[in-house]
Structure 1
Amino acid sequence: MATQATGVATVPRPAASLPAGLTLRNRQVLAKLGWGVVSVGLFVGIWEVLWLIGWADPKLLPPPHVFLGNIPDQARFFNTATRWQIGVNPADGPSPYEAVAITIGATSMRVFVGLAIAAVLSITIGVLIRYFGIFEKLVLPTITLLSPVSPIAWLPVAIFIFGIGNAPAIFMVVVALFFHMVLSTISQIDNVSRNFINVARTMGATKRQIYSRVIIPAILPQLLIVLRLNLFGAWMVVLVAESTGVGFGLGQVIMMARNTFNPSLVFFTIALIGLLGFLSDWLLRILQKRLLYWVPDTGGVLRGL
């Protein structure tokens, strides 16, 4: 029923436009999932068509139905921890599916441990740089100097310091994220609205209270977005680090597939890495909403359409 509150008739959205029990939020989630399936399906369909008409060599670019159609056969290659040890039967150790789970868990552990260490260190050092003038003069030039260096260049340093194992892979993830996040933290602090700081000063807040109650809560939303974007870089770097001698990991599987010229295993592992990266980003989105409960979820300008 129309209402006449300010001279303009307002017609409420009819309740029958949504199915029973399906909220607007659920409909949006289903729409995103549907479009995601369509997007991936379109990519897979084009790949399959190129294979069907003979433009994609199945020996070099096997179509998805080939490397995804026989998962047990692909999973048996994931037992990299005992496969190349002298005097050890390759059939010993975990089953193929257990080996896949162990490999995924090991690589994910390195990514998230490195991500957590990099986040804590970079935000802390970024805040200290702006909090203490002498600390900025001593530290910021070095960070600016080292930030353009590719993380891959740090790989020999990681091996020299930590040897072979989990530590160099975690170190590579930390290095890949640290410098960029320090500079992002400084940039976000500089962009905090001066009105917030002036109001806090008017209310008698000290410098420490301004940083802890105003500046840090103001920069956390953007920093978590930067962290999510750097997550994909962390997955790239950890694969390179794992290929240098870690006992088991997705990087080792990729390296073994390259050395044995097994393109099906390469693309199967690539698809697995893509799925893990998507799930990692989804988990960080949930964490962002839980931690930043004071930030409104606008959902974009088209949410109400």
Structure 2
Amino acid sequence: MMKLGNKLLNFLIGMVILVIIWQIVIWIGGYPEALLPSPLSVGKAIIALIVEGTLFEHLQVSLGRFLAGYFLAAIPAIILGMILGRLPKVWQVFDPIVQVLRPVSPVAWSPFIVLWFGIGNMPAIVIIFIAAFFPVLLTTVTGVSKIDRSFLKIAENLEIRNLKLMVTFIFPAAFPSIVSGLRLAVGTGWIFLVAGEMVGAQSGLGFLIVDARNTLNLDYVLAGIIFIGVSGFLLDRLIGLFEGWVGKHWGMT
């Protein structure tokens, strides 16, 4: 409990420092509200969004899209990564394909995605899928390929094979590497969710920012940015809690 309290305190201190720097930049630069809204103006915008219920409507939509795209990417990526990690010669064939596709921004595919899936939820979900799939796949393959061969020999001696081998030996052994990919995927997926909502959606936090920009309400733009950052932070911490729970369950911590 004390550790959690210290983390919360550190978070609040960090946010206070950020607000102070923000206000100092406004004073030094002499920026008017039309160019850089003050923390007070943005605070009022945040309160207005909460009171109106607009924030929770957009946040609920964004989280739904994110979770759909994230899990649709993470589960197949882990399964495929475990299989390819056990088949190094096959992975040598697929690795160049992955390395060519991985650096391409998911937003670059948006013209095709909109043509194939229309507008609404699907374009954002597909963009999240692309953003989250490769980090999980690559870290899973790396984790499986680095498993100590002595563990696999023990499994062979115990006649543990196929699905049972994957579940009881390979997945736990590769889990530290897998979870690092899951955390990377949270960051990339959440970033590109906002980009996806700016392209072909009529709701969500990304749309909230675009709509506020079009009406020149920059205080609402910054309010949306703050909510995006805080939501991404909380999602990352949830993955960290999941990592700790699994590690404790398996005796890793």
Q: Distance in 2 between matches of 1:135 and 1:191?
A: 16
CA pair 244-54 structure 1, distance change in 2 beyond 3 A: closer
TM-score (norm 2): 0.89
> Aligned to 2:18, which of 39, 43, 52?
43
Shift of 1:171: 0.4
Asked if residue 242 in structure 1 is aligned to residue 197 in structure 2, the reply is yes
Q: Distance in 2 between matches of 1:204 and 1:245?
A: 52
Shift of 1:136: 3.8
Q: Name the structure, 1 or 2, with higher relative contact order (CA <8 Å, separation 6+).
A: 2
TM-score (norm 1): 0.75
Shift of 1:238: 0.9
- Alignment of structure 1 residues 16-165 onto 2, 5 Å: 26-53=1-28, 55-73=30-48, 75=49, 96-97=52-53, 99-132=54-87, 136=91, 139-165=94-120
Contact 1:129 1:140 in 2 (8 A): no
- Please state whether the residue corresponding to 1:69 is helix, strand or coil: helix
Q: Distance in 1 between matches of 2:171 and 2:239?
A: 19
CA pair 132-195 structure 1, distance change in 2 beyond 3 A: closer
**1:243-299, CA deviations, whole angstroms, 9 ceiling, x for partnerless residues?**
1231211111111222222211111101111121122222222333334421443xx
**1:116-153, CA deviations, whole angstroms, 9 ceiling, x for partnerless residues?**
11111111111222345785466444323211211111
Aligned to 1:262: 217
Q: Distance in 1 between matches of 2:96 and 2:184?
A: 25
Contact 1:169 1:241 in 2 (8 A): yes
Give the CA RMSD over aligned residues.
2.3
Larger Rg: 1
User: What is the identity, as a one-letter code, of the residue corresponding to 1:153?
Assistant: A
Query: Unaligned stretches of 5+ in structure 2?
Result: none
- Paired residues in the alignment total 252
Aligned to 1:274: 229
CA pair 70-172 structure 1, distance change in 2 beyond 3 A: closer
CA pair 208-244 structure 1, distance change in 2 beyond 3 A: closer
CA pair 51-196 structure 1, distance change in 2 beyond 3 A: same
